[in-house]
């Protein structure tokens, strides 16, 4: 299996998902939830409500221009405060386990690409304390490096900051695949290996991502529901990209040689 063009990776992804779309959609949905992918939908309204209440602009439910009674105002303020605390706790949980979930999701997609049995157990394969710490630190390292480089670039001019963010994001895209594939790697080694592995291949992966733009626009017309199917499609293509890249980088067969697309 040696693929060169975005269309070939997409075709390979469709073949890997053939007959297993339902499992891929469900696992992708759970992965998105566990990494906080659905949190922004409720965070913004809650934050907006808190600001309105604190400023004294009580929500109007009377339909005739009246305001909430003071008792309900304080009740809503308290409820909004509790809700924000819950969201903060969830954000911390997502931060701690997010790396482990992404590594598990990478393992799931690699197994799908290689026609191996895959399921929800893969998603939670890195939930052991040592693995949670390893994945968390790897996630933290690449995030800190990316944010720092972006800020430094933005201090010079806006464009260099954007370029630095995109360049480093693509440099670290293989980190969680490497964490899943090489349990012997420490956090820094996984991040550094991804950086080295992506030398000369960032634009190829960018082209693959860009080739899904039409599907992304269509998903927007479905109020995001289409993302349930787009997420496993994109992830499957990316996992195949990694398997081929890793094979070249390590000089050994990573993709199942029996798989033909």
Q: Does the pTM exceed 0.75?
A: yes
DSSP state of 252: S
| DSSP of 45-109 | HHHHHHHHHHTT-----SSSS----HHHHHHHHHHHHHHHHHHHHHHHHHHHHHHHHHHHHHHHH
Q: What is the pLDDT of residue 184?
A: 94
**How much is the average pLDDT of 33-43?**
54
**How much is the average pLDDT of 199-218?**
93
Q: How confident is the model at residue 55 (pLDDT cuts 50, 70, 90)?
A: very low
Q: What is the tens place of the pLDDT at every residue in 126-153?
A: 999 999 999 999 999 998 998 888 888 7
Q: What is the pLDDT of residue 42?
A: 34
The yes-or-no verdict on residue 49 having pLDDT over 50 is no
Task: Please tell me the distance from the alpha carbon of residue 233 to that of residue 214, in angstroms, as a whole number.
Answer: 13
**How much is the average pLDDT of 113-123?**
93
Q: What is the pLDDT of residue 250?
A: 86
Domain ranges of the chain: 6-250
Give the CA angle between residues 118, 123, 129 to the nearest 5°: 135
Q: What SS3 class is residue 1?
A: coil
The yes-or-no verdict on residue 239 having pLDDT over 90 is yes
Q: What is the tens place of the pLDDT at every residue in 162-189?
A: 888 889 999 999 999 999 999 999 999 9
Mean pLDDT across the chain: 82
Q: What is the pLDDT of residue 10?
A: 93
**How much is the average pLDDT of 48-56?**
42
Q: What is the tens place of the pLDDT at every residue in 10-19?
A: 999 999 999 9
């Amino acid at each position: 299996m040696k693929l060169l063009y975005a269309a070939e990776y997409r075709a390979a992804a469709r073949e890997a998902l053939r007959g297993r779309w339902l499992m891929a959609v469900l696992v992708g949905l759970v992965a998105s939830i566990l990494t906080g992918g659905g949190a922004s939908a409720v965070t913004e309204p809650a934050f907006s409500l808190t600001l309105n209440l604190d400023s004294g602009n009580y929500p109007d439910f009377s339909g005739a221009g009246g305001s909430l009674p003071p008792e309900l105002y304080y009740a809503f303020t308290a409820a909004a405060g509790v809700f924000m605390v819950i969201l903060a706790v969830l954000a911390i949980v997502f931060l701690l386990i997010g790396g482990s979930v992404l590594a598990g999701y990478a393992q799931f997609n690699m197994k799908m690409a290689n026609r191996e049995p895959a399921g929800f157990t893969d998603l939670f394969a890195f939930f052991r304390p040592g693995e949670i710490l390893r994945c968390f630190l790897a996630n933290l390292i690449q995030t800190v490096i990316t944010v720092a480089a972006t800020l430094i670039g933005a201090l010079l001019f806006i464009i260099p900051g954007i370029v630095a963010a995109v360049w480093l994001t693509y440099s670290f895209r293989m980190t969680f695949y490497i964490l899943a594939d090489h349990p012997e790697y420490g956090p820094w080694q996984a991040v550094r290996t991804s950086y080295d592995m992506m030398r000369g291949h960032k634009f190829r992966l960018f082209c693959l991502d860009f080739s899904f733009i039409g599907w992304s626009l269509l998903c927007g017309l479905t109020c995001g529901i289409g993302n349930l199917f787009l997420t496993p499609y994109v992830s499957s293509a990316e996992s195949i990209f990694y398997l081929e890249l890793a094979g070249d980088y390590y000089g050994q067969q990573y993709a199942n040689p029996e798989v033909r697309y």
